[in-house]
Structure 1
Amino acid sequence: MAVARRLLGAAVVFTVCLIPALTVDRSNFKTCDQSSFCQRQRRLQPGLSSYRAALGSAKLSSDKLEVQLIDDKNQASLLLEVYGLVGNMTRIKINEINPLKPRYEVPDVLVGTPLPTNLQVTGQDDNTLELSLGETGHKLLVTGTPFRLDILSGQDLVLSVNSRGLLHFEHLRERKDTDTEKKDVPAETDEENPEEVESDKEEESKKPEVDEPGMWDETFKTHTDSKPNGPSSVGLDFSLPGFENVYGIPEHADNMKLRTTEGTDPYRLYNLDVFQYELYNTMALYGSVPLLLAHNVKRTLGIFWLNAAETWVDISSNIAGKTLFGKMLQYMQGGGETPQTDVRWMSESGIIDVFLLLGPSPFDIFKQYASLTGTQALPPYFSLGYHQCRWNYNDEEDVRNVDAGFDEYDLPYDVIWLDIEHADGKRYFTWDPHKFPNPRDMLSGLKEKRRKMVAIVDPHIKIDSGYRVHNEIRAQNLYIKTKDGSDYEGWCWPGSAAYPDFTNPEMRKWWASMFSYDKYEGSMDNLFVWNDMNEPSVFNGPEVTMHKDALHWGGWEHRDVHNLYGLYVQRATTEGLIQRSGGKERPFVLTRAFFAGSQRYGAVWTGDNAAEWDHLKISIPMCLSLSLVGISFCGADVGGFFKSPETELLVRWYQAGAYQPFFRAHAHLDTPRREPWLHGDDNMAVIRDVLRQRYTLLPFWYTLFYKALSEGEPVMRPLWVEFPSDVSTFAMDSQYMLGSALLVRPVTEAKARGVQVYLPGDGEVWYDVHSYQRYEAPQTFYLPVTMNSIPVYQRGGSIIPRKDRPRRTSDCMQDDPFTLYVALNLQGEARGELFLDDGHSFNYEQNEFLFREFNYSQGKLTASSLDPSGVFKTPSWIERIVIIGATKPSSITLSLQGGSESSLEFEYDQSTSVITVRKPGVNIASDFTVSLR
């Protein structure tokens, strides 16, 4: 939740949001020009680097290369470390050799120490060192003066580091006398002789750095950020020859393909509570993942910048040949102009720690990044169903009435949510004694219907001597501190609040313990958790967040750890839900703030959007961007959080949301109620159909999430991931893939009578999942639409298991039968997978699961195990097989393992070329063959 508020002197007055007038107040948030370190970094122009690599200092061990970098401007030294890593990755670390104090290196994001691969020197001259990077055929060129790194694949120049000379590393130093500083600043002149200018520049480059405003303290609006350690920013550039399309670095409300930032602010990564964010700009939002992907028809690359401080990313596009780097490329490739994208990273503090993911395919990138930061946690099955939420369901009676409404109108749903008003005076881990006096009875009523509840638990703690949670955190000294050592206090929903230091393992351990049933009074095993406001949001803080000079565990400043805070909150909550079950049950935790690695702990949503068509449209590229950086469990508030959606917009948003991984409707406190039955019978019927489509596909969704867990594959993915050589897909974010089998093209325009659909793939065939109409690809066509239309296409060559008996919850469907939808390609073949377990526990880690494979070829459909180590008993059977794009057979038989054979009844629809096989009656766990003759 964002907040509308006024600060009057020392008092805080919370005001009612005026929904029609909402807009982001840009003055609350910094631009690059208002961020002194961004301004200093960006002021450095491309040119010859002031750094040289002292190749004579090079030390090569079995796992890394060490070289000193000499800054001729400041006569200071850095240590460059280069690691070749297993899996076609390279790690580059740059740090001061002898800093005044240790610089922050991000912990807890990497899932382990990346495995090194041997580096070998394969060539050397006076100014160049050549190394092989493992067994992938890649080579690394280290140029001494000016310092530059180049990575080659064969004769192709893949990527270059510091080719534009923008490496800038601000050394920690003692503060100088202010008057002396001013004397060191060179005077400016209006007219210069060009030769003198070059000479002066050369002399200027040799002068030491001088202090300037913003280095030791910085004021933004009424807040002054003290910097006792002075300037400490780091910056580095990367050049990508042959790449025009770059993606990632969420979270921004922008297109999937990143724009160039020449003439605008860089993309900002700094977790912030942005009150109704604007669209199509580079402003920071709630979360940050510093991973950028680049793609062309030949390869995919990734740059993972492991830094948790405020970070800005500049993107520019040049034509190769205008730079030294471009000339080198032209020489190697025999001339010709080649597009080039240049990316520049700038962080306020920490060190340079960057992983170069060399692909070469998109799926290689996903595996490489997953090997570093982990894969998406396997969610409990119920969480893939529909979630009903608003700020706030008023009381227990309101919850019962809404729950009953879904049953009355035959609408499936799994989870009802409670926002901040459910707690006693916004004291988290409590219940309002008047509105929610019997939470266990309420939860028991939901449990009887096999439903769940999610309640919000935010990380700001009301300062109240009668509040047990506050007293225990304070008694254990686990709050974040001010620069003076007192507990940091700010204003948030409860009023005056303190902020637990989740960077401290003891704080996380204590927080996790609070979710035990005896401590979280009124909780049950069907109560799950929502972490909001965890950027952290501080209403009266700079940029609505915490002062950077606040102090965390270990003496680190908040500026060093800011973007990690939300990850730590979600991690502690997730660990608490696991612990309360004795380690047996999978948790569900939704977070607003996130960082690299957050995928290991649950789900993310796109924050406080608005009931506007453009917000519906932007939800697609926002989730695609998150999926590309490992966070597959993503969705947007259906209907829009702010404002009241017109009925057409609400229906279209349900249709889009049903085909996004996290499917939740949510609404602001001041908006009219919008439960599905409040919009007329016709619209409710459309929404009912949408919900049922979601529930029939739950086995498909669950299998995709298992692939995300096991392989790092994104659930929701851009078309170019599946069709990497199709340039027409590279900037396309109005439609997308779910796995490799379904293409979704939501209707996101008001009063739309039709949409343009592009079906990719040379020699591919697609089928409309509703009508079975067949389309050969590639082609673009205009599809007429009505309010009932959800354009979804199954790819020829795929098999999708569905459960076509939607009930009131996913749990009620657990033992229901399956229908296999077999969509044939032009070769008459198809393949699909199904993952199945109990849907809620970690027993799959003890091999209690089924991972099935279905293959159709030469008129035979076979079922077998993809992982014979998995064993799971289920009564679910196959009640139908639908074969799309087939010719009529004369007979169909079923053969089971062991030799028994029986004839099957079937129907053939000539108009759609669809065979429907009735009641094969075989258990989903059985190996079998269905033969068409």
Structure 2
Amino acid sequence: MRTGTQPGGRLSIECFGMAPILTLWLAVCLSGALAVERANFKTCDQSAFCKRQRALNPGESPYRALLETMELTNSRLTLQLKNDKNKVRLLLELYRLQGNITRVKINELKPLKPRYEVPDVLIREPPTEPLSLLSQDENGVVLSLGAESQRVIVSALPFRLDIMEGRDVLLSLNSRGLLAFEHLRIRKDTFSYLITGTLASVWNNVKSVFSRQADRETEEANLEDEAMLDEKDEEGMWDETFKSFTDTKPNGPTAVGLDFSLPGVEHVYGIPEHADSLRLKTTDNGDPYRLYNLDVFQYELDNPMALYGSVPVMLAHNAQRTTGMFWLNAAETWVDISSNTAGKGSSETPQTDVRWFSESGIIDVFIMLGPTPKDVFSQYASLTGTQAFPPLAALAYHQCRWNYNDQEDVQSVDAGFDEHDIPYDFIWLDIEHTDGKRYFTWDTNKFPTPKEMLQGLMDKKRKMVTIVDPHIKVDSSYKIHNEIKSQGFYTKNKDGGDYEGWCWPGSAGYPDFTREDMRAWWASMFAYDQYEGTMENLYTWNDMNEPSIFNGPEITMHKDSKHGEWEHRDLHNLYGFYVQKATAEGLIQRSGGVERPFVLARAFFAGSQRYGAVWTGDNAAEWSHLKISIPMCLSMGLVGIAFCGADVGGFFKSPSSELLVRWYQTGAYQPFFRAHAHMDTTRREPWLFGPENTALIREVVRQRYSLLPYWYQQFYHTYHTGHPVMRPLWVEYPQDPATYTLEDEFLIGRDLLVHPVTEEGATGVTAYLPGKEEVWFDIHTFQKHNGGQNLYIPVTMSSIPVFQRGGSIIPRKLRVRRSSSCMEHDPYTLYVALSHQRAAEGELYIDDGHTFNFEKREFIHRRLSFANNNLSSVNLAPAAHFSTLSTIERIVMVGATRPTKATLKTADGQMSQLEFDFDASMSVLTLRKPGMNAGTDWTVMLQ
């Protein structure tokens, strides 16, 4: 949607005090320069805890492991850690989890009050596996992890934890001595501090009278109390000012940090969202990567600034192994990355050091030990769940704008797609469709009969999305506001009143989505009798859910606002997760649990994949933004969020015809395919740029629709496995160093390689085709290319280089209609690309496309394979039951030889001869009209 940050920089901030009417604010502010106002967002030096953590020096760890406190059960190790400087003790917990995962938790042994531990992100309490003690001496302990030759070595002084396999160190914790845990304490200038100090002194005197010899534990407890009282306060510990905002910190400094070393690793990935390269850069000479959900106006590229979402997961990869780290903390987090090989000779053994630090909470880290990339994806999915399986229509094309003006405008755009023979499935309405930015309502002047509008779309088997943002207009005549207020569901300010900020409606309240009862109420509002004018073909868009607050610090919520007993600082990055969760549950409930939801959200966290799609936010109509959309979505896929896309054409500014066409060609091969534009841009429906460009856009949208069976099949797999749909080449070719830094091309599943054209005026691109034993076929020309090479490809405006891997079978539907639902019963064409060994395999997945009935085994899942000159379809799910009217109308075999005869054998044993054509110049065999049902067993025999 739109940004909540101010286009005019300081001028726009001043708009709040000078213009109470938000429309006037918009008119003035939108006239400003289109660039991020970086002064609105903190650097590490402006974040007190980040500055404190970064000031620590490596090699000076004050922590030692108290081995005498160790307790080992079948599945859990506990051990106290002591800070020799301030005498504070921590509790270390170590678990071996099923699936080759190790969990490490560190908390205060005796905190003054509980510290925040992230709920609801893990899909369950992870099941454990046995730990066993191998050896112990005064220097440390060695534990078996029970997998191959894996073990954990806990060193006592200084504390260090190494995970080993054989003689190799896979990963080390606190090897640089940067564990830092700011304990809860009493502020020195308070009455409580004076009382505590006096009582401690009196108690010590009493003990000296009645007991000359206190036991050692009591003495150490006294020393700890005195050390805590004597600690010096630094600036920013108890309050912090940024611009005109003061953040009170009633709990004082609570930051936690820990370093990890990865021997043998040069390449790390993940921790979205950043508009940066796929391979993460070292941060020695700049700010760390920041994870703090923010509404950043037209974000800058190639820097580590925080953006809309945060997933604290990092993957480390080399030719031998892939490992992952999941830092389960929802507070503001920074990540430093350094490498001992940066700028050095190749003879030195590489190592990457990573350091995480968060403002509050505890240390809770899951170390996913692979060893393959797909193992790590499955391990992470076992913790936070997999991508929700979307309705098939959600994978088709979406048309959006801020805003389609009224019902007539919607009808005109809808008719325009039919007139120009361009398919689409969803048309979207932004905030202007509501009654004065009151969500769950319609502007009755512009949209007087929404059900009539929706029925018109339904008659064409099309759908609509409306926006429902989580800021609620403060208005006593607005039902939604009144109910939230009367039930006490709003987030509170530090003084206990309802928190209010400014957003699109003007003064707005922010529901406390961390409350389960609040989320249940929110979900109930999507019922057809509550959200009036809605029907089953209306779906939802949650924007501004960082949350975006125009007059808040860093355009978001004050950290000292309250969610029950917890401060917003503890859980900021979870807010958007909860909004999308509640909305998705609402869409499911309104159908009685039958229909799969579709919800798009801008802010996200680990686990958000369970609730819908995300997009890369308010980008710009610039070639650089087109290019960065690829690594941004690849990074999302690596950490579980497979359903990602970018606004086609760029949200801000007006694209040239060339840029728009190239963006359609790129977006058509990314998971979420939506065009979207700012209200100040010229209209850009696909037919407004001349007949030639309309034809180019039509062609690539039709390519998307023809490949929907393959896209749907990939999402079915990611729902079950957690493997990304859009993936970097190194995921499939993990031992090929040439793939490790590629970010201008990608794979869809295993079998389609895409190298979009993202350079203005390009006459050619160079694509890397991986796999020395592989063969790749251009899907447009069927030209054959060997793998393991860089291939120069001349391009015209109609070109988008896409290759099918030899050895694969991909189903398509070539009868493209006005929407995906109209194609439900259409026949399939199978594209069989043969390997060097003249073999191929693939799958065909079919269900009803929109309900949860697939969970009741109502689907068709078949294996397609070609070997020994026989092409066959075999049932992969004998216990499943579903029928289809679709047939196989054509088989195209690429890299084939001419047969003398083609015979079809169907499930009932009947044999028939098939007609075929053979193009000797391209080695393409086409079997015409075989006609068998797509859900049955059959074999085609070539002689």
- Correspondence for 1:768: 778
Deviation at 1:238, TM superposition (A): 0.2
- Correspondence for 2:262: 240
- Correspondence for 1:2: 3
Query: Where do 1:838-853 residues align within 5 Å?
Result: 838-853=848-863
Deviation at 1:20, TM superposition (A): 8.4
The AA in structure 2 aligned to 1:796 is G
Q: Distance in 2 between matches of 1:918 and 1:781?
A: 33
Q: Distance in 1 between matches of 2:752 and 2:878?
A: 27
- Correspondence for 2:435: 424
Q: Which moved more, 1:30-39 or 1:889-898?
A: 889-898
The alignment partner of 2:80 has SS state of strand
User: Which of 465, 472, 479 matches 1:454?
Assistant: 465
Counterparts in 2 of 1:336 and 1:665: CA distance versus 1, 3 Å: closer
Counterparts in 2 of 1:652 and 1:918: CA distance versus 1, 3 Å: same
- Correspondence for 1:386: 397
- Correspondence for 1:325: none
Q: Distance in 1 between matches of 2:526 and 2:175?
A: 51
Counterparts in 2 of 1:207 and 1:437: CA distance versus 1, 3 Å: closer
The AA in structure 2 aligned to 1:855 is S
- 1:804-837 CA-to-partner distances (Å, cap 9, x unmatched) read 1100000000000000000001000111012110
Q: Distance in 2 between matches of 1:742 and 1:627?
A: 16
Deviation at 1:319, TM superposition (A): 5.1
TM-score (norm. length: structure 1): 0.95
User: Which of 294, 304, 320 matches 1:298?
Assistant: 320
User: Which of 227, 250, 264 matches 2:249?
Assistant: 227
- 1:344-368 CA-to-partner distances (Å, cap 9, x unmatched) read 0000000000000000000000000
For the pair 1:745 / 2:755, whether they are aligned, the reply is yes
TM-score (norm. length: structure 2): 0.94
Deviation at 1:868, TM superposition (A): 1.3
The alignment partner of 1:469 has SS state of helix
For the pair 1:272 / 2:294, whether they are aligned, the reply is yes
Q: Distance in 2 between matches of 1:712 and 1:209?
A: 47
- Correspondence for 2:362: 351
Q: Distance in 1 between matches of 2:598 and 2:231?
A: 50
- Correspondence for 2:149: 137
Q: Distance in 1 between matches of 2:790 and 2:89?
A: 57
The alignment partner of 1:491 has SS state of strand
Q: Distance in 2 between matches of 1:546 and 1:552?
A: 12
Retained in 1: the 8 A contact 2:88–2:228? no
Retained in 2: the 8 A contact 1:758–1:778? yes
Counterparts in 2 of 1:20 and 1:703: CA distance versus 1, 3 Å: farther
User: Which of 657, 670, 676 matches 2:680?
Assistant: 670
The alignment partner of 2:340 has SS state of strand
- 1:585-629 CA-to-partner distances (Å, cap 9, x unmatched) read 000000000000000000000000000000000000000000000
User: Which of 129, 153, 156 matches 1:117?
Assistant: 129
The alignment partner of 1:304 has SS state of strand
- Correspondence for 1:66: 78
- 1:713-743 CA-to-partner distances (Å, cap 9, x unmatched) read 1000000000000001001000000000000
Q: Distance in 2 between matches of 1:2 and 1:898?
A: 60
The alignment partner of 2:480 has SS state of helix
- Correspondence for 2:582: 572
Deviation at 1:135, TM superposition (A): 2.9
Deviation at 1:858, TM superposition (A): 1.2
Deviation at 1:208, TM superposition (A): 5.7
Counterparts in 2 of 1:8 and 1:207: CA distance versus 1, 3 Å: closer
Query: Where do 1:625-664 residues align within 5 Å?
Result: 625-664=635-674
User: Which of 582, 588, 603 matches 2:613?
Assistant: 603
Q: Distance in 2 between matches of 1:209 and 1:693?
A: 66
Deviation at 1:23, TM superposition (A): 0.2
Deviation at 1:336, TM superposition (A): 7.2
Retained in 2: the 8 A contact 1:73–1:208? no
Query: Where do 1:445-844 residues align within 5 Å?
Result: 445-553=456-564, 555-844=565-854
Deviation at 1:178, TM superposition (A): 9.4
Q: Distance in 1 between matches of 2:125 and 2:148?
A: 20
Deviation at 1:711, TM superposition (A): 1.1
Deviation at 1:75, TM superposition (A): 0.4
- Correspondence for 2:43: 31
The AA in structure 2 aligned to 1:484 is D
The AA in structure 2 aligned to 1:759 is L
Q: Distance in 2 between matches of 1:827 and 1:650?
A: 41
- 1:156-200 CA-to-partner distances (Å, cap 9, x unmatched) read 11100000000000000000139999xxxxxxxxxxxxxxxxxxx
Retained in 1: the 8 A contact 2:864–2:872? yes
Deviation at 1:342, TM superposition (A): 0.3
The alignment partner of 1:112 has SS state of coil
The AA in structure 2 aligned to 1:792 is V
Retained in 1: the 8 A contact 2:272–2:632? yes
Retained in 1: the 8 A contact 2:763–2:794? yes
Percentage of identical aligned residues = 66
For the pair 1:869 / 2:872, whether they are aligned, the reply is no
- 1:40-98 CA-to-partner distances (Å, cap 9, x unmatched) read 00000111311001111110001110000000011000000000011000000000011
For the pair 1:217 / 2:239, whether they are aligned, the reply is yes
- 1:393-417 CA-to-partner distances (Å, cap 9, x unmatched) read 0000000000000000100000000
- Correspondence for 2:120: 108
Q: Distance in 2 between matches of 1:84 and 1:499?
A: 40
Q: Runs of 5+ in structure 2 lacking a partner?
A: 7-11, 195-226
Q: Distance in 1 between matches of 2:18 and 2:148?
A: 62
- Correspondence for 1:326: none
Aligned length: 896
Retained in 2: the 8 A contact 1:308–1:562? yes
Retained in 1: the 8 A contact 2:19–2:25? no
Q: Distance in 1 between matches of 2:787 and 2:927?
A: 28
Q: Distance in 1 between matches of 2:562 and 2:627?
A: 40
The AA in structure 2 aligned to 1:448 is D
Q: Distance in 2 between matches of 1:788 and 1:235?
A: 51
Deviation at 1:134, TM superposition (A): 2.4
The alignment partner of 1:14 has SS state of helix
Q: Runs of 5+ in structure 1 lacking a partner?
A: 182-204, 323-334
Runs of 4+ in 1 over 3 A off after TM superposition: 3-6, 10-13, 16-20, 177-181, 205-209
Retained in 1: the 8 A contact 2:16–2:551? no
- Correspondence for 1:316: 338
User: Which of 363, 372, 381 matches 1:370?
Assistant: 381
Deviation at 1:870, TM superposition (A): 1.5
The alignment partner of 1:703 has SS state of helix
For the pair 1:444 / 2:452, whether they are aligned, the reply is no
Query: Where do 1:894-913 residues align within 5 Å?
Result: 894-913=904-923
- Correspondence for 2:215: none
Deviation at 1:8, TM superposition (A): 4.3
The AA in structure 2 aligned to 1:428 is Y
Deviation at 1:207, TM superposition (A): 11
Q: Distance in 1 between matches of 2:735 and 2:526?
A: 49
Counterparts in 2 of 1:20 and 1:476: CA distance versus 1, 3 Å: closer
Q: Distance in 2 between matches of 1:501 and 1:837?
A: 37
The alignment partner of 1:559 has SS state of helix
For the pair 1:411 / 2:422, whether they are aligned, the reply is yes
The alignment partner of 1:577 has SS state of helix
For the pair 1:880 / 2:921, whether they are aligned, the reply is no
The alignment partner of 1:676 has SS state of coil
Deviation at 1:19, TM superposition (A): 7.1
- Correspondence for 2:372: 361
Q: Distance in 2 between matches of 1:729 and 1:178?
A: 58
Deviation at 1:250, TM superposition (A): 0.1
Retained in 1: the 8 A contact 2:396–2:704? yes
Q: Distance in 2 between matches of 1:96 and 1:267?
A: 26
Q: Which moved more, 1:224-233 or 1:864-873?
A: 864-873
- Correspondence for 2:413: 402
Retained in 2: the 8 A contact 1:19–1:643? no
- Correspondence for 1:75: 87
Q: Distance in 2 between matches of 1:251 and 1:925?
A: 41
Query: Where do 1:273-288 residues align within 5 Å?
Result: 273-288=295-310
Q: Distance in 1 between matches of 2:659 and 2:30?
A: 20
